[in-house]
Amino acid sequence: MSIKPTYLTLKGEGLGLKRDSRMVVSNADITVSSTGLTGLIGANGSGKTSLISMLAGLTVPDYGVVSLTDHAGRVASRKQIGLMMQKPVIMRRSVYRNCEYVLSALNIPLSERADRIMAGLALMELEHYAQQDARTLSSGEQQRMALARVLMASPGVLLCDEATSNLDPKSTQMIEAVIMDKAAAGMPVLWVTHNLAQLRRLARQVVFMQKGEILANQNLDDFFHTPACSDVAEYLAYERI
Amino acid sequence: MEILRALSDAFGLLLTGDQALYEIIFLSLQVNLSAVALAALIGFPLGALLATSRFIGRGFINMMVNTLMGLPPVVVGLLVYMMISRSGPLGVLELLYTPTAMIIAQLILVTPIITALTRQSLSRLNDDYQSMFFMLGLSPWRRMRTLIYDGGMDLVTALLAGLGRAMAEVGAVMIVGGNINHYTRVMTTTITLETSRGHLSTALALGAVLLTMTLIINALVAILSGGR
Ligand SMILES: Nc1ncnc2c1ncn2[C@@H]1O[C@H](COP(=O)(O)OP(=O)(O)OP(=O)(O)O)[C@@H](O)[C@H]1O
Ligand SMILES: [Mg+2]
């Protein structure tokens, strides 16, 4: 865990995605950088997962470009993106081996792996599950494992799609603490959530999507107090219900 | 009455360890296990490749696999016969009516099954793993190894299904093996011959052995795939 982290800037410009002759994302500009956590919110089907998937490179955009660069503007490898999807990949292996697979694929030296894995699992209070078949974990435990696994690779940028959707309040708080630490240390984070209270706790910047379009991209205070458009105000009105 | 006599004779043969009988059982196992092992050597990587990679000729190979899977064994027997008979392109190897010829025919019959089952289960697994493979930038070779490793149980099931087909096979091994006593006579071909001669006890004894083996293979398949 001693390597000096190098944080990257992930940028999408004019991103558009067409599915079944419908634009599920259109003309989206977004930057994820070391300036604190960026929250991404919007109703179901508004295009959040599609946008993340394009930023990660998993989906090829129909319009626009994605770039991943270091502080000097040099192009960086996609392997440095930490992606936690809405439905994480759970390998048919033990929790420990799930983590080890990722570290070995990223060429983390063998001598470092065990320490990293145990520290990462401990961070998510999963150290006692190391030998359990990952498929038999509860969905909340799987989510914690996925987050532990992505963090122990020390990514240069982190994309999380509803990382706490299955978690109890205590686990949620535990993960929020970890993520806040990382963001404060400069890790660029894009964080999708439906939980507005969580957004208030974590985000520095908020991106709001509706029907595939980014309608607002504001800092946290402005977003809640002087929303960029009436759609945001309408969306926020539900918080009181 | 005659059937009861045949049955008790059959068990007599099995229990006294009749040499000719056990020779046949042993050859069956030798031919079929060799064929299945070789088929796995081809079918596992080929199935994994078909499940994970897009390449030129993939559609053609898929079609061949599906076609060969549905081909009647006697046709495969005939084709192999034509290849290895004295006037065939491989005639100089003098393989006709040898155990090797039977292994070749079984190999052609079993490989498509193992390939297709491997392709099926690994492409499901590949769908699950694909995003991770992509993000980690893994080579096709590394992906394949991971899938074969993590899909291990499915692959054993494919192997046993292949063995099941090989054990049940008559037509092809009859044509290319010639059913020669003490040399190329296996369980299924012996049953065919002895039944037509009216020697029901030998046929029944082998039938019982075959039934037991098939039962064991299928029980293993059920146990292994039940865990999913
Ligand atoms: N492959 C596809 N084919 C057709 N439509 C698609 C496809 N992928 C996504 N969509 C559509 O795109 C829209 C956006 O989907 P997306 O998963 O990005 O939404 P989301 O904002 O992540 O929603 P949620 O909050 O429910 O996770 C949806 O209406 C969905 O039906
Ligand atoms: Mg989503």
Please check the confidence at residue A1 and state whether its pLDDT lies above 80. no
CB–CB contact B150 A93 (8 Å):
yes
Chain A residues with CB within 8 Å of chain B CB: 56-58, 77-79, 81, 83, 85, 89-93, 101-102, 105-106
> Residue A2 has what pLDDT?
44
pLDDT in tens, A91-122: 999 999 999 999 999 999 999 999 999 999 99
Q: What is the pLDDT of residues A214-239, one digit of tens each?
A: 999 999 999 999 989 999 999 998 87
Mean per-residue pLDDT for B100-128? 96
A183: domain CATH number is: 3.40.50.300
Burial class (CB in 10 A: 0-12, 13-18, 19+), A163: buried
pLDDT for the residue A3: 52
Q: Does residue B127 belong to the interface with chain A, where contact is any CB pair within 8 Å?
A: no
CB contact under 8 A, B131 and A58: yes
What is the average pLDDT score of chain A?
A: 94
- Residue B23 pLDDT greater than 80, yes or no: yes
User: Residue A120 domain-assigned?
Assistant: yes
pLDDT at A241: 62
Which residue range(s) make up the domain with A143?
Answer: 9-239
Task: Take residue A41 and report the two structure tokens written for it.
Answer: 């919110």
- Which residues have CB under 6 Å of ligand 1? A 19-20, 24, 42, 44-50, 86
Nearest residue (by CA) to ligand 1, atom 17, is: A49
**ipTM score:** 0.90
| pLDDT reading at A82 higher than 50 | yes
Closest alpha carbon within chain A to B136: A79
Per-residue pLDDT tens over the stretch A10-29: 999 999 999 999 999 999 99
A58–B129: do the CB atoms touch at under 8 Å?
A: no
Question: Does any domain span residue A140?
Answer: yes
Domain boundaries, chain B: 2-227
% of chain A surpassing 90 pLDDT: 88
Taking only the tens place, the pLDDT of each residue in B140-193 is: 889 989 999 999 889 999 999 999 999 999 999 999 999 999 999 999 999 999
Question: Is the residue at A4 inside a domain?
Answer: no
Number of domains in chain A: 1
* A77 contact residues in B (CB cutoff 8 A): 137
Give CATH for domain B2-227: 1.10.3720.10
